[in-house]
Structure formats: C-alpha cells, structure tokens
C-alpha cells in the first residue's frame, strides 16, 4: 500500500513596501524642536511624528550649504564624491545640474515601484536641464527650482514640472500668494492621489530659511513674540503648520500599506 500525504498551502500574504514622506526643513536645527530638548516653545506636531515614527539622533547634513547637502542626500555620496559640491549658480535661474548619469534616491525607489514626488526647494539643476527633478527620478515636482529665488516666500513664479506657474498677485512687491502654502497644498494632494499605491514624497521646505515672513493668519495661537522665531513656530506649531496638517490629515492611517 502506498500512502500520500499532502499539506494545504496557505496563501502567501503580499507585503507592500512602506510609503515614505521625507520632510527637509531648510535651516531648522534639531535644537529648534521640543522633542530634542527645545524649551522656549513647543513643536507638538513634529513631536507626535517623532513619537509615532523613527527618531534619528545621528542623521547629519551632508554639507554646510544648500546644493551640496541636497546632492549628498539624493545620491548617498559624501561631498568628496557627490557631483554637486557647492552653490554654483546658473543664469538666469537655477543651479549647476546633477549629471544625467547620477543615480538618485528617487530613481532607486522608482525602480522598486514607487510613485515619486518632490514639493519645495530643488537647487540641483536649472529648469529643463539634466538635473531637473523630472529628469532625476521624480514623477511630479512643484516648487522653487532655484534656491536663490527660494529666499523669497512671495515669488513671481514657481514651477510645476516643466510649466512655469506665474504668481501675478506678487508683482511689484505685493504679498498676494504665499508660496509655501501653494507647495503644501500640492504635497497634500499628492498624498491623497497616491494613498492607495506606494509613494515617496520628498518635501524640501524652504521654511524657515531666509525671508522670515509668515502671514498674520498663520501666527494665531502660536504665542510668537519674536519676529525671528515666527517662521519656525509657524512651520512647526501653528494651526496651519506643515507637519500638523500631515500628521492630522483625514484618513491619515491610509498612509500605511493596507
């Protein structure tokens, strides 16, 4: 007699890669956050993200200035090897580009099935160049291509992929459109559009660097008393804060794989 023994195979559960939101706040030091010991004011939204996520204590900038530090981040190379090693300008707008041969973090994640988006300040290649974010692995970009123009929160234009978006409300020194708000809305929309897939969102915010301006409506309930602290408090704590609206967005659990 022959006996055959079979075991029923259980279906293998497909594990999806996690969604990634990487927020890079320009000139925001770790000492500005209450989760890292700040006592002059609180940053509750970032503190919540830190408590519910991963808290890094040895995550250093790749350089002391904008473009090379971002180049290090995008390439994983230190400034002895990363292709952009200084804030070299390109006229009339932009900076010296990453070479076409560069393999960026965004390209690596795209190769693994991620939808990729960048919202904020780029500084790694003038519009249309080989260093343009659309040519370095990002499916969508909205924000400042040029880091020099990013010194102003009420610019005359921003970029949406290859389209120049004019902000006529800011002509002649007017303060009609607050650029960080436009970029933030685009970033939130990207999350909503891709919450059912696997995405990487790079959010290199221009705040709180440089111009140190925030609309008065943003400053309500922040308790800000110093004009130099206003943009930091607005970015981290206020009712319109960028981390707060990501942390408390509707259906925030949809950021996690199903």
Query: Model confidence over 228-250: pLDDT tens digits?
Result: 445 555 555 544 556 666 666 65
The whole-number pLDDT of residue 96 equals 96
The whole-number pLDDT of residue 251 equals 55
CATH of domain 20-53+101-250: 3.40.720.10
Question: Residue 116 in contact with residue 17, Cβ under 8 Å?
Answer: no
pLDDT tens by residue, 167-183: 999 999 999 999 999 99
d(CA 218, CA 150): 19
Instruction: Return the biggest CA–CA distance within the chain.
Output: 95
pLDDT tens by residue, 41-73: 788 888 888 888 778 888 888 999 999 999 999
| Percentage of residues in the chain having pLDDT higher than 70 | 79
**In the predicted structure, residue 252 carries a pLDDT above the cut 90:** no
Question: Residue 109 in contact with residue 20, Cβ under 8 Å?
Answer: yes
Name the nearest CA neighbour of 44 among 255, 223, 194.
223
Burial class (CB within 10 angstroms; exposed 0-12, middle 13-18, buried 19+) of 73: buried
Name the residue with tokens 């259906």.
251
Mean pLDDT over the full length of the chain: 84
Q: Lowest-confidence range among 98-102, 130-134, 242-246? A: 242-246
The whole-number pLDDT of residue 127 equals 97
**Torsion over CA of 110, 113, 114 and 115, rounded to 10 degrees?**
90
Name the nearest CA neighbour of 151 among 89, 202, 241.
89
d(CA 142, CA 183): 6
**In the predicted structure, residue 5 carries a pLDDT above the cut 50:** no
| Percentage of residues in the chain having pLDDT higher than 90 | 56
Top pLDDT among 217 and 163 is at 163
Q: Where are the domains of the chain?
A: 20-53+101-250
């Amino acid at each position: 007699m022959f006996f055959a023994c079979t075991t029923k195979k259980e279906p293998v559960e497909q594990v999806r890669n996690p969604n990634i939101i990487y927020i890079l706040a320009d000139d925001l030091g770790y000492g500005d956050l209450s989760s890292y010991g700040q006592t002059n004011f609180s940053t509750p939204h970032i503190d919540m993200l830190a408590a519910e996520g991963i808290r890094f204590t040895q995550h250093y900038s790749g350089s002391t200035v904008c473009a090379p530090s971002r180049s290090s981040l995008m390439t994983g190379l230190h400034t002895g090897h990363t292709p952009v090693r200084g804030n070299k300008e390109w006229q009339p707008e932009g900076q010296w580009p990453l070479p076409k041969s560069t393999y960026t973090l965004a390209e690596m994640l795209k190769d693994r099935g991620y939808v990729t988006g960048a919202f904020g300040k780029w500084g790694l290649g003038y519009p249309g160049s080989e260093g343009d974010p659309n040519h370095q692995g990002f499916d969508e970009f909205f924000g400042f291509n040029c880091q020099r123009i990013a010194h102003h929160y009420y610019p005359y234009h921003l970029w949406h992929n290859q389209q120049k978006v004019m902000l006529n409300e800011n002509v002649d020194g007017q303060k009609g459109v607050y650029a960080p708000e436009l970029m933030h809305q685009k970033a939130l929309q990207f999350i909503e559009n891709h919450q059912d897939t696997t995405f990487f969102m790079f959010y290199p915010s221009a705040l709180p660097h440089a111009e140190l301006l925030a609309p008065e409506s943003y400053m309500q309930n922040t308790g800000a008393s110093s004009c130099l602290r206003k943009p930091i408090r607005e970015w981290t704590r206020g009712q319109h804060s960028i981390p707060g609206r990501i942390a408390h967005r509707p259906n925030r659990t949809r950021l996690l794989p199903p």
